[in-house]
């Protein structure tokens, strides 16, 4: 039998330190260390993020190797996130990967984080092999840093046909949460409170942006003014209406996303629709997509929760497919804070 291909994936682009092991295309371990240090600041503090990565990276990699049951000498290559992301954070994962690969005498594979989010749809485990989307498909990548609609022509050819001109969808969630006095990251909390609220209780104006692009900064300002005005009238406004406020702002964000996604599907004629990135963990978004599946004849692909938010399984799977193409990086490689999708 030929030697198995074992890829160690490393992700450190923002505030999660993650490592994963993929053997012959099947995920054996997927470890993520979240950073709680940012909670009090209402957003990721880059300097604190890189320090926490430095502390977490060795234990996280060590645990991924232990859980996978492989020996480190069996690893075929190390795939790491080169960008986009926070430079200080990326440097920790990149430097660690370079040193580890050099120590083991194995190749390095650089991965674009956004390509990783898209290829999260191709993660299989030994027990579970979900149906993968066929090419071409549309992928809406919605995270704390990005909001893009991508035509995925194949694993390595992706065309961005729409993106945000200001804030990302995740930022819209997080900033709305901050205005409500909720800790960072606020997206999951808005999701939680929204489940008990009325999405039509309050109406917020949607932006008018041409083509397939998005904008969320106007919504944030409108939301802030609304909350300030209502709170001036009744200091307990937020407390009394938390569920309805969360449901209404979530409904508006989802509806902005869906308007453009529907338009993208109509323009391209593509009906295989995937979502990726942290915001695709949102239950309102997931349910809306599932209802559109019937209404518009779409086939919808939604990753498991753990593959939506930042993780290293998506980096390892991208690395696995790059390994097959022998796309290796040199030891001179440096991270890139900005890294466009090809
Ligand atoms: O992909 P990700 O983990 O990191 C980036 O690459 O940015 O996305 C993080 C974003 C944060 O803005 C977070 O609030 C949002 O994803 N998020 C959610 C949910 N879970 C995570 N937003 C809404 N609902 C959720 N359930
Ligand atoms: Zn991400």
Q: Are residues 199 and 53 in the same domain?
A: no
Residue 152 lies in a domain: yes
**CA–CA separation, 147 and 87 (whole Å):** 20
Q: Does the beta carbon of 176 sit less than 6 angstroms from any atom of ligand 1?
A: no
11 lines ligand 1 (CB under 6 A): no
Pairwise CA distance, residues 35 & 230, whole Å:
34
| 173 and 80 within one domain | no
Q: Are residues 250 and 232 in the same domain?
A: yes
| pLDDT tens per residue, range 177-190 | 999 999 989 999 99
Q: Do residues 143 and 123 both lie within one domain?
A: no
- CA-angle at 153, arms to 4 and 342, nearest 5°: 85
* Residue position matching structure tokens 């800790």: 183
Q: How confident is the model at residue 44 (pLDDT cuts 50, 70, 90)?
A: confident
Do 156 and 299 fall within a single domain? yes
Q: Is residue 340 part of a domain?
A: no
Measured from the Cα of 310, ligand 1's closest atom is 3
Distance CA 225, CA 231 (A): 10
Domain shared by 269 and 141, yes or no: yes
Q: Does residue 336 belong to any structural domain of this protein?
A: no
Query: Residue 289: inside a domain, yes or no?
Result: yes
Any idea what the CATH number is for the domain that residue 312 is in? 3.30.420.40
Residue 183 Cβ inside 6 Å of ligand 1? The answer reads no
Pocket test for ligand 1, best of 17, 42, 170 (most atoms within 8 A of CB): 170
- Ligand 1 atom 3 nearest Cα: 309
For the chain, state the CA radius of gyration: 20
Distance from chain centroid for Cα 99: 26
Same domain, 294 and 316: no
Atom of ligand 1 nearest to the CA of 85: 6
Q: Which of 209, 182, 204, 207 is nearest to 250 (CA)?
A: 204
The C-alpha angle 25, 30, 31, rounded to 5 degrees, equals 155
Calculate mean pLDDT across residues 56-73.
98
Rounded average pLDDT over 259-279: 97
Q: Do 148 and 281 reside in the same domain of the chain?
A: yes
- Report the pLDDT averaged over residues 311-336: 98
Q: Which of 90, 111, 115, 187 to mutate to test the pocket of ligand 1 (most atoms within 8 A of CB)?
A: 187
Q: Give the residue-averaged pLDDT of 231-260.
A: 98
Q: Is residue 337 part of a domain?
A: no
pLDDT, tens digit, 9 for 90 and up, residues 279-317:
999 999 999 999 999 899 999 999 999 999 999 999 999
Contacts of residue 151, defined as CB under 8 A and 6 or more positions apart, other chains included, come to 136, 138, 158, 159, 161, 268, 270
d(CA 278, CA 23): 25
CB-based burial, 192-231: b 16+ in 10 Å, e otherwise: ebbeebebeebebeeeebeebbbbbebbbebbeebbeebe
Buried b (16+ CB within 10 A) or exposed e, 61-81: beebbeebebeeeebbbbbbb
The strand ranges marked E within the chain are 6-11, 16-23, 26-34, 77-83, 108-112, 137-142, 147-154, 157-163, 272-276, 299-301
Helix (H, G, I), strand (E, B) or coil at 148: strand
What range defines the domain where residue 248 resides? 137-303
38 pLDDT tier (thresholds 50, 70, 90):
confident
pTM of full prediction above 0.85: yes
Is residue 285 one of the residues assigned to a domain?
yes
- φ/ψ bin of 42: left (φ > 0), alpha (ψ from -120 to 50), beta (otherwise): left
- If asked whether residues 225 and 101 sit together in one domain, one would say no
Is there a single domain that holds both residue 225 and residue 170?
yes
Q: Is residue 40 part of a domain?
A: yes
Q: What's the structural domain count of the chain?
A: 2
Cα separation values, 98 from 53, 105, 107, 214, 248, Å? 15, 10, 9, 37, 46
Separation CA 216–CA 141 (nearest Å): 15
| Mean pLDDT confidence for 69-77 | 98
* Whether residue 187 is found in the same domain as residue 231: yes
In a domain, residue 261? The reply is yes
Task: Compute the mean pLDDT over every residue in the chain, rounded to the nearest whole number.
Answer: 96
The token duo for 202 is 């309050």
Residues 97 and 176 in one domain: no
Question: What mean pLDDT is predicted for residues 70-83?
Answer: 98
SS3 80: strand
Question: Which residue, by CA, sits nearest to atom 8 of ligand 1?
Answer: 278
Residue 145 beta carbon below 6 angstroms from any ligand 1 atom:
yes
| Residue from 32, 118, 164, 173 to probe ligand 1 pocket by mutation (most atoms less than 8 Å from CB) | 173
Q: Is 314 in the pocket of ligand 1 (CB under 6 A)?
A: no
Q: Tokens 């485990």 correspond to what residue? A: 125
Across residues 255-279, what is the average pLDDT?
A: 97
Rounded Cα gap, residues 307 and 94, in angstroms? 21
């Amino acid at each position: 039998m030929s030697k198995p291909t074992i890829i160690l994936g490393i992700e450190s682009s923002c505030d999660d330190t993650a490592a994963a092991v993929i053997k012959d295309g099947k995920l054996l371990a997927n470890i993520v260390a979240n950073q709680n240090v940012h909670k009090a600041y209402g957003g990721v503090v880059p300097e604190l993020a890189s320090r926490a990565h430095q502390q977490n990276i060795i234990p996280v990699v060590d645990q991924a190797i232990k859980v996978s049951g492989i020996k480190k000498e069996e690893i075929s290559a190390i795939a790491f996130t080169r960008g986009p992301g926070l430079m200080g954070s990326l440097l920790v994962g990149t430097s660690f990967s370079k040193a580890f690969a050099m120590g083991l005498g194995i190749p390095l594979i650089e991965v674009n984080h956004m390509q990783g989010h898209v290829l999260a749809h191709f993660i299989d485990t030994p027990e579970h092999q979900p149906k993968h989307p066929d090419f071409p498909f549309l992928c809406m990548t919605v995270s704390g840093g990005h909001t893009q609609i991508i035509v995925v022509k194949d694993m390595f050819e992706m065309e961005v046909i729409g993106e945000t001109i200001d804030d990302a969808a995740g930022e819209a969630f997080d900033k709305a949460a901050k205005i409500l006095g909720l800790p960072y990251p606020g997206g999951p909390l808005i999701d939680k409170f929204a489940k008990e609220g009325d999405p039509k209780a309050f109406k917020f104006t949607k932006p008018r942006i041409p083509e397939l692009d998005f904008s969320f900064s106007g919504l944030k300002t409108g939301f802030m003014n609304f909350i300030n005005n209502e709170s001036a009238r009744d200091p307990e406004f937020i407390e009394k209406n938390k569920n309805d406020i969360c449901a209404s702002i979530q409904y508006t964000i989802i509806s902005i996303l869906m308007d453009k996604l529907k338009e993208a599907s109509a323009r391209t004629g593509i009906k295989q629709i995937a979502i990726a990135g942290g915001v695709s963990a949102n239950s309102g978004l997931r349910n809306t997509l599932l209802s559109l599946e019937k209404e518009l004849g779409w086939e919808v692909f939604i990753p498991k929760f753990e593959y939506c938010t930042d993780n290293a399984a998506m980096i390892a799977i991208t690395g696995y497919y790059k390994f097959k193409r022998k796309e290796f990086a040199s030891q001179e490689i440096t991270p890139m804070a900005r890294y466009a999708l090809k």
